[in-house]
């Protein structure tokens, strides 16, 4: 397998900044490829800035330096980085809008506006606004010119949402200016100048001379499916310059054992499929025998990624392997079942979260299947806008709850964002009719056209499923960590926001009181370990472990405790029969021990399988492995 078939362009239009976006399913190596690209261009003499739009950023971990919400030098000439922090971006945005008004507006008006800017909507628009700043400033970023800005994006579903926002917000500002003159984040007059900026961002995204999208994927079914879908959606918003990097390819010469020979053949079939289905440039990258962290290992990747002179592809890093034995405590099947077994008469919610690509969907499907086999009436739901539960189960899953054929007691559903928005708007308007004047109803209709409504509608649907009492267990396959943490924080954030659209009338206060009680019920349920179970899925590698640990501490600060950890794709000793796989297993063993020490929680092991977890047979095998019992053993516990 060659290391490349189309090197990234190294000839930049030096008269204007170029932008390269790295996108794709979680866990495919976007951050590694983005960092290697930024490093290569910096060392070629180009002033390069790498920015992450992922709220659960791993940029600092890869570069092994603290970055944060400021432009920070990365220890290499011409290279800087920044991690957009949603909270910092919100504070900056709020103050930028309110500061000029404080001297001219009455105090009571400023108080109302400050309440509006406490809305969760502000977090989305503030992070987005900061992202747009990186694309549209004529004088460079914060007054500093760059030749190249590399965007390491969040997993695909959330990145598509981010890239649609310039069009959505520009339209909403225009419509609000022609109507009431207000938006959900303040008067149009205060943000009117943003419309030109958002229009400029839309133009730049569609300019193939200035903007390139690189889709990173792995030779697996779900990764190919998501890449095909997202590339079509990007084309729909005018993005025309794109290419692929297929990452994580197994070298044939190390696949000596029958187990890895089967995985190698599976990957080769998918590589042929990629060649047939994508008519854009493709590069290939081998899976390394260790993890990619630090400048030296990024140079190792960049040499292959940008090779144009026939250099032989590498899969061994120039580092010594860590020799470590795990000291984790494995979770036995009985105690794991006890953690998720519902109380009689009470629905239990089970949330699986973690870094993108760690296998949350497979683990969620396996858990739901096992619970159904045990006789519990189970609902499997995904909150991820780039959902794959249908592909994993190989069964149709839509926005209507449907029985999963071939599995007793198991239903599945996915949240269709557009349908959720339509239902949310209809319900809000129906509730408002008869309570408010026609002028107030017009204001509500205008408010509901805000791009923020998408987040509010998805959250409202999420709450409905949390409150669902028709099942013994509801298993949530969540979006990647940063966006899941955002979702779980929303009951706390929205508690003070209900009724804001209708000012302070008596009816509004009644609505706010009713909704406040609903939020409090949701919060109480999520904090109750007998009603809600939280588990992190990780690969035994640095960035998934660090990200999950941070998220666990954030949950704890909100009063929500994590019950267990699932370590996925763990290599087994009996088929690691050469140096390549022994090195990778040694790395995993080190992090399994770290999981045990950091989390101080039971750990369930999901082994790497010789093929993908797709179809009920493979999901059943995953369930058996996860719960450490055979299908017959599960049935015996019913």
Q: Which residues pair with 151 in a beta bridge?
A: 21, 51
Q: How far apart are CA 240 and CA 435, in angstroms?
A: 48
Q: CATH top-level class for 18-90+122-305?
A: alpha beta
CA dihedral 578, 580, 583, 584 (to 10 degrees): -120
Quick one: 517 exposed, middle or buried, by C-beta within 10 A (0-12, 13-18, 19+)?
exposed
| pLDDT surpassing 80 at residue 582 | yes
Cα-to-chain-centroid distance, residue 457: 18
- What does the DSSP assignment read for 146-166? -SEEEEEPPPHHHHHHHHHHH
Question: Which of 81-95, 183-197, 412-426 has the lowest average pLDDT?
Answer: 183-197
| pLDDT surpassing 80 at residue 591 | yes
| Crossing angle of helices 188-205 and 120-136, rounded to 10° | 50
Question: Which of the 8 DSSP states describes residue 541?
Answer: S
Question: Which of 36-45, 54-63, 96-105 has the lowest average pLDDT?
Answer: 96-105
| pLDDT surpassing 50 at residue 7 | no
Q: So what's the pLDDT on residue 310? A: 42
Q: So what's the pLDDT on residue 461? A: 78
Q: How far apart are CA 627 and CA 616, in angstroms?
A: 16
Pairing of strands 473-477, 348-353: parallel
Of all residues in the chain, the percent with pLDDT exceeding 70 is 68
Q: How far apart are CA 357 and CA 154, in angstroms?
A: 11
Instruction: Locate all alpha helices (DSSP H) within 533-578, ordered by sequence.
Output: 542-557
| pLDDT surpassing 90 at residue 252 | yes
How does pLDDT run across 195-232, given as a tens digit for each residue? 666 677 777 777 888 888 899 999 998 889 888 887 88
Closest CA to 14 of 52, 43, 51, 41: 41
Q: What is the mean pLDDT of the chain?
A: 77
Q: So what's the pLDDT on residue 327? A: 57
pLDDT band at residue 567, thresholds of 50, 70 and 90?
A: very high
Please give the helix or strand (H or E) that residue 215 lies within, else none.
Answer: strand 211-217
| Crossing angle of helices 542-557 and 481-494, rounded to 10° | 10
Q: What are phi and psi of 117, to 5 degrees?
A: -75, -5
Please give the helix or strand (H or E) that residue 603 lies within, else none.
Answer: strand 603-607
Of all residues in the chain, the percent with pLDDT exceeding 90 is 29
| pLDDT surpassing 80 at residue 539 | yes
| pLDDT surpassing 90 at residue 93 | no
The pLDDT of 542-549, averaged and rounded, is: 87
- Looking at mean pLDDT, say which of 127-136, 295-304, 439-448 comes out highest: 295-304
Structure tokens at 293: 């962290």
Answer yes or no: CATH 3.40.50.300 is held by domain 333-633: yes
Is the pTM here over 0.85, yes or no? Answer: no
The pLDDT of 143-159, averaged and rounded, is: 72
- Looking at mean pLDDT, say which of 114-123, 266-275, 444-453, 597-606 comes out highest: 266-275
Number of helices and strands (H, E) in the chain? 22, 18
Closest CA to 530 of 596, 609, 473, 468: 473
Q: 201 or 3: whose pLDDT is higher?
A: 201
Q: So what's the pLDDT on residue 324? A: 52
Question: Which of the 8 DSSP states describes residue 561?
Answer: -
| pLDDT surpassing 60 at residue 151 | yes
For 19-77, give the secondary structure using H, E and C.
EEEEECCCCCCHHHHHHHHHHHHHHCCCCEEEEECCCCCCHHHHHCCCCCCCCEECCCC
Q: So what's the pLDDT on residue 457? A: 75
pLDDT band at residue 346, thresholds of 50, 70 and 90?
A: confident
How does pLDDT run across 547-565, given as a tens digit for each residue? 889 889 888 888 889 999 9
Q: How many CB atoms sit inside 10 A of residue 106's CB? A: 8
Structure tokens at 174: 């225009």
| pLDDT surpassing 70 at residue 147 | yes
Q: So what's the pLDDT on residue 8? A: 41
- What does the DSSP assignment read for 452-521? HHHHHHHHHHHHHHHH--SSSEEEEEPPPHHHHHHHHHHHHHHTTTTTGGGTT-HHHHHHHHHHHHHHHH
Q: 67 or 195: whose pLDDT is higher?
A: 67
The pLDDT of 577-602, averaged and rounded, is: 91
Q: How far apart are CA 612 and CA 288, in angstroms?
A: 20
The long-range contacts involving 141-146, CB below 8 angstroms and separated by at least 24 positions, are 141/49, 141/71, 142/71, 144/71, 145/17, 145/47, 146/17, 146/47, 146/48, 146/49, 146/80
Residue 20's alpha-carbon distances to 48, 236, 241, 593, in angstroms, are: 11, 18, 10, 37
Q: So what's the pLDDT on residue 319? A: 55
| pLDDT surpassing 90 at residue 569 | yes
Q: So what's the pLDDT on residue 506? A: 47
The pLDDT of 127-133, averaged and rounded, is: 71
Pairing of strands 282-286, 186-187: unpaired
| pLDDT surpassing 50 at residue 156 | no
How does pLDDT run across 377-415, given as a tens digit for each residue? 999 998 765 567 888 998 888 888 999 999 999 999 988
Q: How far apart are CA 625 and CA 628, in angstroms?
A: 5
How does pLDDT run across 279-314, given as a tens digit for each residue? 889 999 999 988 888 999 999 899 888 875 444 566
Closest CA to 135 of 52, 15, 19: 19
Q: So what's the pLDDT on residue 499? A: 42
pLDDT band at residue 163, thresholds of 50, 70 and 90?
A: low
Q: So what's the pLDDT on residue 608? A: 94
Q: How far apart are CA 403 and CA 379, in angstroms?
A: 9
Task: Count CA atoms closer than 13 A to 19's CA, side-chain side.
Answer: 28
The SS3 assignment for 347 reads: coil
Structure tokens at 158: 């959330």
Q: So what's the pLDDT on residue 283? A: 92
Q: 226 or 567: whose pLDDT is higher?
A: 567
| pLDDT surpassing 80 at residue 541 | yes
Question: Which of 1-10, 157-166, 568-577 has the lowest average pLDDT?
Answer: 1-10
Domain with CATH 3.40.50.300 in the chain: 18-90+122-305, 333-633
- What does the DSSP assignment read for 282-314? EEEEEPPSS---SHHHHHHHHHHHT--S-PPP-
Closest CA to 364 of 347, 381, 339, 340: 381
- Looking at mean pLDDT, say which of 46-50, 143-147, 307-311 comes out highest: 46-50
Residue 209's alpha-carbon distances to 9, 12, 50, 152, 408, in angstroms, are: 11, 9, 19, 19, 54
pLDDT band at residue 502, thresholds of 50, 70 and 90?
A: very low
Q: So what's the pLDDT on residue 145? A: 80
């Amino acid at each position: 397998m060659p290391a490349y078939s189309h090197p990234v362009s190294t000839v930049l239009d030096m008269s204007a900044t170029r932008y390269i976006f790295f996108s794709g399913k979680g866990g495919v190596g976007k951050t590694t490829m983005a960092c290697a690209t930024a490093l290569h261009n910096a060392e070629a003499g180009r002033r390069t800035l790498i920015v992450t739009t992922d709220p659960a950023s791993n940029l600092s971990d890869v570069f092994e330096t603290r970055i944060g919400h400021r432009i920070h030098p990365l220890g290499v000439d011409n290279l800087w980085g920044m991690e957009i922090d949603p909270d910092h971006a919100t504070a900056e945005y709020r103050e930028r809008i309110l500061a000029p008004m404080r001297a001219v507006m009455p105090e009571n008006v400023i108080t109302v506006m400050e309440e509006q800017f406490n809305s969760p909507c502000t977090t989305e628009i503030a992070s987005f606004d900061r992202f747009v700043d990186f694309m549209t400033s004529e004088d460079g970023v914060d007054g500093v010119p760059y030749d190249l800005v590399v965007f390491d994006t969040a997993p695909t579903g959330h990145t598509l949402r981010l890239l649609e926002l310039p069009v959505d917000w520009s339209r909403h500002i225009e419509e609000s200016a022609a109507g009431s003159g207000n938006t959900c984040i303040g008067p149009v007059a205060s943000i009117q100048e943003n419309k030109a900026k958002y229009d400029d961002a839309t133009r730049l995204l569609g300019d193939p001379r200035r903007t390139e999208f690189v889709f990173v994927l792995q030779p697996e079914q779900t990764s190919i499916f998501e890449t095909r879908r997202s590339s079509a959606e990007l084309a729909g918003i005018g993005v025309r310059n794109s290419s692929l990097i297929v990452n994580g390819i197994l070298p044939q010469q190390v696949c000596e054992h029958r187990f890895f020979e089967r995985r190698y053949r599976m990957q080769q079939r998918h590589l042929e499929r990629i060649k047939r289905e994508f008519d854009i440039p493709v590069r290939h990258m081998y899976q390394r025998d260790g993890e990619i962290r630090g400048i030296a290992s990024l140079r190792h990747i960049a040499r292959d990624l940008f090779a144009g002179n026939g250099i032989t592809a590498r899969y061994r890093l120039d580092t010594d392997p860590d020799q470590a034995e795990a000291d984790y405590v494995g979770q036995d099947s009985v105690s794991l079942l006890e953690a998720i077994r519902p109380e009689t008469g009470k629905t239990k919610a089970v949330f699986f979260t973690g870094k993108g690509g760690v296998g949350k969907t497979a683990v969620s499907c396996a858990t739901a299947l096992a619970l159904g086999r045990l006789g519990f009436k189970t609902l499997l739901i995904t909150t991820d806008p780039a959902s794959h539960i249908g592909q994993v189960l190989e069964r149709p899953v839509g926005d209507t709850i449907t029985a999963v054929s071939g599995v007793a007691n198991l239903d599945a559903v996915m949240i269709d964002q557009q349908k959720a928005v339509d239902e949310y708007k209809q319900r809000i308007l129906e509730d408002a009719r008869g309570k408010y004047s026609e002028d107030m109803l017009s204001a509500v209709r205008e408010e509901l056209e805000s791009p923020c409504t998408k987040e509010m509608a998805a959250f409202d649907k999420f709450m409905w499923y949390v409150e669902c009492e028709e099942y013994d267990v509801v298993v949530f396959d969540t979006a990647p960590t940063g966006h899941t943490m955002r979702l779980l924080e929303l009951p706390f954030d929205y508690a003070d926001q209900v009724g804001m659209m209708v000012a302070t009338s008596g009816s509004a206060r009644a609505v706010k009181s009713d909704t406040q009680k609903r939020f409090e019920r949701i919060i109480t349920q999520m904090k109750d370990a007998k009603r809600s179970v939280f588990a992190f899925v990780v690969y035994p590698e640095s960035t998934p472990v660090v990200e999950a640990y941070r998220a666990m501490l954030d949950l704890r600060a909100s009063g929500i405790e994590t019950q267990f950890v699932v370590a996925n794709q763990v290599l087994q000793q009996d088929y690691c029969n050469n140096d390549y796989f022994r090195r990778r297993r040694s790395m995993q063993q080190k992090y399994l021990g770290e999981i045990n020490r950091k989390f101080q929680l039971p750990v369930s092991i999901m082994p790497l399988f010789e093929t993908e977890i797709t179809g009920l047979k493979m999901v059943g095998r995953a369930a058996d492995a996860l719960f450490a019992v055979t299908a017959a053993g599960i049935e015996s516990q019913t």
